[in-house]
Amino acid sequence: MIALLALAATLQSAAIDWNGLAPLPYRAPPILTAEMQAFVQRQAVSRKCPLPKPGTITVEVAVLVDEANGIRTAVPRAIRCPTVEQYAAALVAGFARNNLLPRTNAAEQWYRVSLTFTWKP
């Protein structure tokens, strides 16, 4: 666990070629519920997170998938809103459990996911 946290911290501070990562191959795309949207709204507003558009926040997450199609780690891209970043990473890991398409390459591989949360400002 400590090694995974160290890896996540290193990757968050290192330059990740976000555009070079393939999209995470979900079987079924994740659905953000009203409760998830409301949680992010409360966190973003109460913590005064920078919002590029009022009522919208997007978090990109890099995901390391292991040989058995399991999630080794999920690293959020920093958006100056740590609570929302970590929440998005946890959601992505949960959405991916038993929900990935089979891969032809059995090696570990990095993917990306983008979650956009919206609400009425």
**Mean pLDDT of all residues in 13-34:** 90
Amino acid letter, 43 = Q
The residue whose two tokens read 């978090």 is: 59
Q: Provide Rg for the chain, Cα atoms.
A: 15
What pTM does this model have? Answer: 0.85
Amino acid letter, 9 = A
What is the pLDDT at residue 2?
A: 52
Alpha-carbon distance 11 to 32, whole Å? 26
What is the pLDDT at residue 90?
A: 98
pLDDT for 66-116, tens place per residue? Answer: 998 899 999 999 999 999 999 999 999 999 999 999 988 779 999 999 999
The residue whose two tokens read 């390459």 is: 105
